[in-house]
Structure 1
């Protein structure tokens, strides 16, 4: 077996996600045979540092021995059982631990099988809560510009990245979109905290005008990942929690990409000192091993559905693999590592190295900004540094970085003109510096005349 052989087989039967398949007429895909730590290895023996954690899911490296063992132990006991009318120890233990580590007041866990599904659960649960409370006129949601919450229809409805949304707009709910507090658009001399406070006026007006018909506000705390890794100050979340309370509207925190240590704290909401009404978790929840998501919510929400059967107030959303024991075992193995090791402390040291390694790119003539929140760092290329005029998206300059990085033994998958690092937490300082050099080389190539 070699790369070419598996690629030919693949192209005859597989339709890949987020891909224009015609590209593979000239852009070879990379068949992966095995993974270990930060490394991925193809069938020809080439190795690549997984700088994007395989779409932001892998926390503690590929083939992590501790998570491997947790899954093996569970596999000998129970692979799956229906979670309606039945239960099992892994889902109970995981729920107990999630309630313990998430912000105070989150007491109930509802499971699904992907991040998008978790968002769907939170949206439906919020709407259904208000209906059960006699406020069925609440049917709308407020979201931020440039936001992304997944690609199922409900999740697309509360997102604002045109690339994913525009084609399906006729099928979607009509949400209320408010300008994001993106620090990239700060004025001269303005701090990110001041941007957050200034931009919050838009949210305040939207809530004042629409609270009576609104179920919830949904946000990605601190980093809009699929929205080109745009970042904002925690002050916005503090103001948002206060305003949602004041206007009687739910707050949904989509921590699917930013949770589990990515932003410098276990959960991004901690940096604002807030508790949302719903916290959506997935991706790193299982350490990148198996599909699983959870919506952690409050007892107030839970009690709104707790009633006599005849009232038909129960929340009937379900997934066949809800609370899968193997996925729960992987999640428990992941949480064990957080508990046994100083993951957050080590991540902060690695984040410092990441910032230092990328610092030279601030002076690059075609870099508008180098930005970072914890273990997420992004570099935005522009055609003109002074005006921040972007390169036309049709030029696909980020693709040149991707191709160069593969030749150098790294998986960097830019978002348009934004190249970023979001590596597994087991990466070394020297590997981070290597990735920064590769990124700089790639940006030089991508911005050459």
Structure 2
């Protein structure tokens, strides 16, 4: 066993990891990376199929981001944001505000220039609640914590509720700090800390594949494509708001992961759900908090990416809910939604540094203005808030993201994934294939006809991912959902390698397919 592996086993406690299992084998110790490839202490190479847990955008060791960090490092690595400003954070805040308040307009290939940024499409402000203020923090949990505190205090100060209450979705995950956990509804993660948490309400989330209101029989297609329902999931949200209003204490805010819930199992929302829910939130005078920690910065592809992966190329039943195809940086923009709080992390720095931001409105900002002795200050902060190295990396990442070359690369990767995913339908243990842009979840089941899940002790998802690792592809499951979220630099050849490893892993774990793949 390599010395570094020995040190890890002796001293390191890993996140979301059963350490008894971890200590039974030699860990993979990563020492370098280039593009979509990681290299370990033994010189073995792996494709980074989940972008180092959803963080890396442009690939490892990207020359432009490396150079930006080196330039900043020659100036200063960090100075406090408490009472001081700094150059890269100020520039980054301006760029984030511009990006968050822009919606794509397909007008040929006209270009705009903003600072050093250029893009092959034009943008215009997205009304009616422009995000204009940026509060920096360290990671997704703290970005959510900032939004939660601001929304709570804003509701109290504007007399919208003496005891502000929040609504979030079943299966929600918004981080691991106490406030963020209070908004989460994954019992496996959160039940142990129940005594620490404040109470928030939950409402049914759209999960077309296992929705009790979906009357359709299983088919070899994304469940959003063949669903038969009457938007009962939206009706549940409306009922919740009405009931809370009747109690005399309307909700202060609703928290959502736009377009797709990540830690719940890569569960996408049917097109139109987000817009309908946003209308309910606005109609009840509440605020909308968008957790785009995972979905932000191009992960959801272009608007047309809401089309599901099917095995038979049938057109989408609810196509009228889709917007015109257009590259977007944020999931909210795909349905023309502007939240009151936009929480960003993970890909913000391109996967280089723990950097996060919470964007909000002038109205929220103004509620915290006052004289010194009034104590209206927002009493919250972090030692490394607005760190210069992280901000420099984020600025470079944004420049890359909005270049025509990056837009084309993301579109090519999205389409390659879509085509290659169809080959997985041949396995009777693939129940649902869910793709939103460059985010993929493959749900494994005992039999696709019945949707019967595997037992917990069978560890189906873990075994498949271990088999993929032996074939040089790294990812991490969510239960029995295999997650694929490769960096944007991943080539078509590398995508085919990832899919080949997954198909081989399915055969190794479950045996050769014996059931027909379609009715």
Unpaired runs of 5+ in structure 1? none
CA RMSD of aligned residues (A): 1.7
- Classify 1:311/1:234 alpha carbon distance in 2 versus 1 (closer, same or farther; 3 Å): farther
Please, what TM-score do these two structures have when normalized by structure 2? Answer: 0.83
The question of whether the paired residues in 1 share the 8 Å contact of 2:156 and 2:164 is answered with no
Whether 1:353 aligns to 2:387 is no
Once the two structures are superposed, the pairs formed by residues 263-278 of structure 1 within 5 Å of their partners are 263-264=300-301, 265-278=328-341
The question of whether the paired residues in 1 share the 8 Å contact of 2:251 and 2:286 is answered with yes
1:137 to 155, 162, 179: 162
The question of whether the paired residues in 2 share the 8 Å contact of 1:400 and 1:445 is answered with no
Once the two structures are superposed, the pairs formed by residues 409-424 of structure 1 within 5 Å of their partners are 409-424=472-487
Deviations 1:370-427 (A, max 9, x none): 1100001121111122221100122111121222112111102111111121000000
Partner residue, 1:164? 189
| 1:76 match: secondary structure | helix
Richer in helix (by share): 1
Whether 1:230 aligns to 2:237 is no
| 2:191 match: secondary structure | helix
* Cα displacement (A) at 1:195: 5.3
- Classify 1:175/1:23 alpha carbon distance in 2 versus 1 (closer, same or farther; 3 Å): same
The question of whether the paired residues in 1 share the 8 Å contact of 2:465 and 2:476 is answered with yes
Partner residue, 1:29? 27
Once the two structures are superposed, the pairs formed by residues 31-430 of structure 1 within 5 Å of their partners are 31-103=29-101, 104=126, 105-184=130-209, 185=211, 186-188=214-216, 197-211=231-245, 212-264=249-301, 265-430=328-493
Please, what TM-score do these two structures have when normalized by structure 1? Answer: 0.96
Deviations 1:141-199 (A, max 9, x none): 10001111111111111111122111111211111100001222343188568758331
| 1:48 match: secondary structure | strand
> How far apart in 2 are the matches of 1:63 and 1:205?
49
Deviations 1:198-257 (A, max 9, x none): 310000011112243422100000111111111112411111221111101010000000
* Cα displacement (A) at 1:43: 1.1
The question of whether the paired residues in 2 share the 8 Å contact of 1:80 and 1:324 is answered with yes
> How far apart in 2 are the matches of 1:27 and 1:228?
26
- Classify 1:11/1:142 alpha carbon distance in 2 versus 1 (closer, same or farther; 3 Å): same
> How far apart in 2 are the matches of 1:236 and 1:225?
16
> How far apart in 1 are the matches of 2:164 and 2:423?
48
Partner residue, 2:111? none
- Classify 1:196/1:433 alpha carbon distance in 2 versus 1 (closer, same or farther; 3 Å): farther
| 2:432 match: secondary structure | strand
* Cα displacement (A) at 1:344: 3.2
Partner residue, 2:122? none
| 2:402 match: secondary structure | helix
Partner residue, 2:307? none
> How far apart in 2 are the matches of 1:194 and 1:242?
23
* Cα displacement (A) at 1:6: 1.0
Unpaired runs of 5+ in structure 2? 102-125, 218-222, 302-327, 513-519
Of 140-149 and 205-214, deviating more is 205-214
> How far apart in 1 are the matches of 2:224 and 2:30?
43
